[in-house]
Structures are given as C-alpha cells and as structure tokens.
A and B are shown apart, each in its own frame.
Chain A
Amino acid sequence: MAAEISDRVREIAEENDLPESEVFERALERGLETLWEDVVLKRYLDGGIDREEAIEQVGRAKVERAEREQQIVEEDTDWGLNA
C-alpha cells in the first residue's frame, strides 16, 4: 500500500509537473474537504443543522444525493429485516 501511494504520488507529480510535496498538500486538502462534507451531512441527517445550512456548506447536489441515499438505505434496511 505504501509503495502504491509513493508510485501514485510520483506519477501525479510527473504528470502535472509539480513537486511531490505539492501533491501531498493537494491530497490533504481534498481529503479534508471530503471528510468535512461527511461531517456536515451527518449533522444535517441527524437534525443538528437545517437543510439550508447544509446546502450552504456543501451544495444542493450533495444534500439532495444524501437525502436520496438515506431514503434508499431506510427502505432497504426495513425491507431486509422484514422480508
């Protein structure tokens, strides 16, 4: 896994003509963004923040996608437990 990450970092750096440190920095930013979105969506789905606030923080498309996913997970779980 570590070797695979090193290889990927090297390839990305070469492809974009960037130093490897810059690749790590961008990866960290993107990773943090995703983790932050998970936090916001969790707060919204748990009722901690309202819909408008969630949309303001992560965008309407991600909120609507999470709502649709939640509906599906609830439907599937309820069905599976009772089929």
Chain B
Amino acid sequence: MTLAAVSDSGPLIHLAEIDSLELLSAFDTLLVPETVYAEIEAGGVPSGLADVSYELVDVDGEASAKEELDAGESAAIAVAAERDIVLLTDDLAARRFASDGGIEVHGSIGVIALAHGRGRLDADEAAARMRALQRETSLFVTEAVIERGIELLNEER
C-alpha cells in the first residue's frame, strides 16, 4: 500500500535526536510544510534530514491558522486534510484537533513501528529506538507507556 504523510516539526526533531530520521523513508511520500521547515531551521536543520526524501509544500498561513495550535502544526494539519494523507505529530493538542477532524494521525512511535512493520528494523532495534525516544529526546512519554509499545511489538513475533 502506498503511504503518504505530512509532518510537523515534532517527529522530525525527536527522530533526529536519536539519529533515526532515515526511518521516515518507510513512507512512500513525505511532505514538510515550509512553515515547519522554517521552525526546524531556526534551531539548526538536523544533518540527517539531507538524506531523507521529502517535498517542501507551501500552505496559505492565514487559511490554515488555528488559534490553539502553532503555525507549523496548523500548516501540517491543513496539508493532511487537503490531501487526505497521514499527519505526523507528537503534540497531544494537535493530535486531538486533527483526529476530531477525521485526519489519521500518528507520531514518532508510529514511525518506528512502521519501519519495523515494513521490514526496515528488526523488533530488538525497534524496541531500542522506542526506549531511546523516551530517554534521550525532548519528547515526554512515561517510561511504562513505552514498555507497553514494546510489548505490542513483541506480540507480533
């Protein structure tokens, strides 16, 4: 199945923090709104992003603006809705907003699981990266919750 996604800055930053941006190539098409790229650029573009195939897309800022979300999240949601593709975000508010609007939403954990599901990572490596996501990045996830995700990976064996 062909899989396309648009990402806000969260998964790009969190996956970069564990040197795992290459997992985004599990998607057949990856879009990054210009606004999101600008947010990442402000903090320094992670070197691994150059090795990822993605397309920058322009979004009408005023049309996509949502009061409770930042500009990058709003732009990514607008692209996901317009093109009917998966939204990648690690922000709980953005996830809820998009889900309520009928958009399929996943985050960095989903990217790791997808890479495993598509044969790019074995289960042990996927588990190691999930734990790294919890311990080594700015993404806040309770440790016990990550272990539940790893259990689910192992149940598939």
Contact = CB atoms under 8 A, between A and B. Distances in A.
To the question of whether A and B form a pair in one complex, the answer is: yes
Interface of A: 38, 41-42, 45-46, 65-66, 68-70, 72-83
B112 to A, nearest CB: 7
Contacts of A78: 113, 152
A80 B117 contact: yes
Interface of B: 1, 3, 92, 95, 104, 106-107, 109-118, 141-149, 152-153, 156
Contact of A79 (B95, B114, B148): B114
A75 B106 contact: yes
Given A79-B110, A80-B109, A80-B113, 15 more contacts: A45-B144, A45-B148, A65-B142, A66-B142, A70-B148, A75-B106, A76-B109, A77-B109, A77-B113, A77-B149, A77-B152, A80-B110, A80-B117, A81-B152, A82-B117
The majority secondary structure among interface residues of chain B is helix
Contacts, number: 82
Contacts of A38: 142-144
A76 B149 contact: yes
A66 B92 CA distance: 12
A41, A45, A74, A79 pick with most chain B CB within 10 angstroms: A79
Nearest to B90: A72
Contacts of A68: 92
A41 B148 CA distance: 12
B153 A73 contact: no
A74 B141 CA distance: 13
A61 to B, nearest CB: 12
Contact of A72 (B95, B116, B147, B152): B95
A25 B148 CA distance: 32
Contact of B114 (A45, A66, A73, A83): A83
A42 B110 contact: no
Nearest to B3: A83
B1 A42 contact: no
A69, A70, A73 pick with most chain B CB within 10 angstroms: A73
